[in-house]
Amino acid sequence: GIIGSSTRIQEVLRMVARLKDTRTPVLIYGESGTGKELVARAMHFRGAFGARPFVAVDCGSLVPTLIESELFGYEKGAFTGALKSKQGLFQAADGGTIFLDEVGELPLELQAKLLRVLQEKEVRPVGSNQRIKVDVRVIAATNRDLEAAYKNGTFRKDLYFRLNVVTLYVPALRERRSDIPMLVHWFLERYAPGSEMHVASAAMRSLMQYEWPGNVRELENCVERAVALGNGQAIDLGDLPPSIATGASAAGLPATVPTAERTTILDPD
């Protein structure tokens, strides 16, 4: 489930509902830690593709010299250590969805080969002369401005327009602060199930005022830390990281904290 009841996250859920049964390429924008992969998974598993493969690829973590063989596979003997043929990630996703996370990190050479795969709907494994047909839906994600990247020459313009058929923006946590109490209680249930721990008002106020540069991922780490350090009954200001407990500014924020309910948003319809 995608957690939240704010207007911004409901907009995301409505887009997911519209796109879940289509084969249209989608480019998901958002800062690191906002939950871009969660949105991609929702788009896949809630719709007609739910029983088919979903393959997530972190383009930023792939070793540059191995990206091509990882994505497109390789034949036995194609390079030192290739003792047997191996299927690539595009073949593994055949019939389903491939999620290219941080697609902006791909080298230009690989961008050209990815564009060919998207256009021709076929891959050529490293060391092979044969092309293999693949039928995959492509969802890409990035925390970079790809429009600026193609204008300055670090991302292919033709690949940008091939991926950017539909754009979906995932808001930063500071743009949907009203969801913070709901998310906090969701993570409490995950890391302290059945404990009925509560959050002191001062601690919740600090959580609401913090800017969250690491977004939902940082909030989850914060709650996990507080559960580990807390007394098992309540999370107080002293259980929060110092940067959150002391560095939050209350300027422009309400003095009261909205009541949180333990809610999972499963479908916008």
**When comparing pLDDT for 173 and 260, which is higher?**
173
| CA-angle at 11, arms to 8 and 14, nearest 5° | 155
Question: What counts of helices (H) and strands (E) characterise the chain?
Answer: 11, 9
Alpha-carbon dihedral angle through residues 108, 30, 118, 84, given to the nearest 10 degrees? 70
Q: State yes or no: pLDDT of 206 exceeds 90.
A: yes
The tokens describing 250, both together, are 């209350």
Q: Mean pLDDT, to the nearest integer, of 204-211?
A: 95
Per-residue confidence (pLDDT) for residue 250, from 0 to 100: 42
Q: Mean pLDDT, to the nearest integer, of 23-36?
A: 95
- Residue 174 gets which letter from DSSP? G
Half-sphere exposure of 135 (CA within 13 A, CB side): 4
CA distance 268 to 14: 6
pLDDT tens-digit map of 154-192: 999 999 999 999 999 999 999 999 999 999 999 999 999
Q: Tell me the backbone φ, ψ of residue 98, rounded to 5 degrees.
A: -110, 130
Per-residue confidence (pLDDT) for residue 194, from 0 to 100: 86
Q: Beta partners for 99? A: 56, 139
Q: Beta partners for 268? A: none
Distances (CA, A) of 213 to 69, 167, 168: 34, 22, 20
140: confidence class by pLDDT, cuts 50, 70, 90: very high
pTM: 0.85
Q: Mean pLDDT, to the nearest integer, of 250-264?
A: 39
pLDDT tens-digit map of 56-91: 999 988 877 788 888 998 888 777 777 788 888 999
Using alpha carbons only, how large is the chain's radius of gyration in Å? 22
CA distance 69 to 78: 10
Residue given tokens 């973590």 in the structure block: 61
The tokens describing 116, both together, are 């060919």
pLDDT tens-digit map of 34-60: 999 999 999 999 998 899 999 999 998
Share of the chain above pLDDT 90, in %: 69
